[in-house]
C-alpha cells in the first residue's frame, strides 16, 4: 500500500482559485473519504487538519483539504468574503475533487459550512463530525454580541476591525458578511438532516459557547446525534487528547456508515 499526496489550485471561473491538498490511498481501507472544512481565518495546514492528514495516511483513507476564498494559500480579498461564497467554494471542491461517499469534518465556521453542504449533497454526505461548530455565527456570535458602538461602526463604515486572540492582525468584519450570512441561518428551525452527526465541544470555549452547540443538537432533525463535552476544552481543541478524541470519533463513525 502506498499513499499519494497531490496539491493544486482549483480555478473558480472569476479569476480566483482555491488551494487544495488531497491525500489518497492507492489501496483504501474502504470507500468513504473525508473532506476537511476549516474555521474562520484558519487554513488547511493547521494543527487539527495536519493531524487528520497523518491519521488518514496511517488508516488508508482519502482526505481532501482546501483553503476558502481569502484564506490561507487561496486567492481573494477578505473584505469581499461571505458565507455564501465559502459555501460555493466547499461545493466546488466537493463536486470537483472528491468521489464517492464522504464524511465531512468541520471546525468552527467549517461546522456551519458542513451543515449547509450536507443539505445540498445528502446523497453523498454520509456523516458529519463537527468541532466547536458555529452555525449562524455571524448573527448569533457576532452581531448579537457586538456593542452598540461596534454596530454603529459597521453601519456607518461598513467594516469593523476586530482584535483577535489567534492573529496579530485584527479581523476585518464587514457589514456585507453580516447581512449575507442572514441568508444561510439554520438555528431556530429544524435542520432536515438524517445522518450521523458527532459534535466535539469544549466547555471553556470563549468563542463558541457549549450552549450554542446544544442549540444545534436540538435543531437537527435526525436522531443519530451525539455531543461530547470536554470540561477544560477551549475553542481550538487541538491538544494531543483532543486530537485522539477526534480521530477516534471519525474512525467509529466511518465504521458505522460502512456497515
Q: Count of CB atoms within 10 A of residue 122's CB? A: 13
Find out whether 66 and 19 touch, Cβ atoms under 8 Å: yes
Cell digits for 121? Answer: 449533497
Q: Which long-range contacts (CB under 8 A, 24 or more apart) does 208-212 make?
A: 208/108, 208/132, 208/133, 208/134, 208/137, 208/141, 208/235, 212/134, 212/140, 212/141
Which residues are CB-contacts of 100 (< 8 A; sequence separation ≥ 6)?
31, 32, 33, 124
C-beta separation of 202 from 232 below 8 A = yes
Task: Decide if 50 is catalytic.
Answer: no
Is 234 catalytic? The answer is no
Annotated catalytic residue 238: no
Q: Contact 105/50 with Cβ under 8 angstroms? A: no
- Are 236 and 11 a contacting pair, CB within 8 Å? no
Out of 67, 89, 136, 205, which one is annotated catalytic?
A: 205
Q: How far apart (Å, rounded) are the C-alpha atoms in residues 48 and 26?
A: 24
Distance CA 49, CA 66 (A): 10
* Catalytic residue chosen out of the listed positions 17, 42, 74, 108: 108
Cα 21 to Cα 14: distance, rounded to the nearest angstrom: 21
Please give the Cα distance from 177 to 124 (Å, whole number).
Answer: 29
Which among 207, 235, 238, 242 is annotated as catalytic?
A: 235
Q: Which residues are catalytic?
A: 108, 205, 235
Amino acid at each position: 500500500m502506498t499513499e499519494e499526496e497531490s496539491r493544486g489550485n482549483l480555478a473558480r471561473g472569476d479569476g480566483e482559485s482555491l488551494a487544495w491538498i488531497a491525500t489518497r490511498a492507492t489501496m483504501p481501507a474502504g470507500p468513504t473519504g473525508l473532506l476537511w472544512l476549516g474555521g474562520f481565518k484558519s487554513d488547511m495546514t493547521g494543527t487539527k487538519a495536519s493531524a487528520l492528514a497523518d491519521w488518514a495516511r496511517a488508516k488508508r483513507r482519502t482526505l481532501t483539504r482546501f483553503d476558502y476564498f481569502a484564506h490561507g494559500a487561496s486567492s481573494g480579498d477578505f473584505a469581499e468574503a461571505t458565507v455564501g461564497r465559502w459555501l460555493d467554494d466547499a461545493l466546488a471542491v466537493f463536486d470537483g475533487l472528491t468521489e464517492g461517499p464522504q464524511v465531512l469534518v468541520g471546525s468552527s465556521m467549517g461546522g456551519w459550512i458542513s451543515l449547509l453542504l450536507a443539505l445540498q449533497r445528502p446523497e453523498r454526505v454520509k456523516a458529519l463530525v463537527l468541532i466547536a461548530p458555529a452555525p449562524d455565527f455571524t448573527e448569533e456570535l457576532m452581531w448579537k454580541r457586538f456593542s452598540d458602538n461596534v454596530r454603529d461602526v459597521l453601519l456607518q463604515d461598513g467594516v469593523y476591525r476586530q482584535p483577535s486572540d489567534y492573529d496579530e492582525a485584527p479581523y476585518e468584519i464587514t457589514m456585507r458578511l453580516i447581512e449575507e450570512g442572514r441568508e444561510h441561518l439554520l438555528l431556530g428551525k429544524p435542520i432536515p438532516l438524517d445522518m450521523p452527526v458527532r459534535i466535539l465541544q469544549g466547555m471553556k470555549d470563549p468563542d463558541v459557547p457549549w450552549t450554542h452547540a446544544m442549540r444545534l443538537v436540538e435543531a437537527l432533525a435526525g436522531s443519530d446525534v451525539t455531543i461530547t463535552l470536554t470540561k477544560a476544552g477551549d475553542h481550538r481543541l487541538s491538544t494531543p487528547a483532543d486530537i485522539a478524541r477526534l480521530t477516534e470519533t471519525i474512525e467509529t463513525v466511518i465504521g458505522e456508515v460502512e456497515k
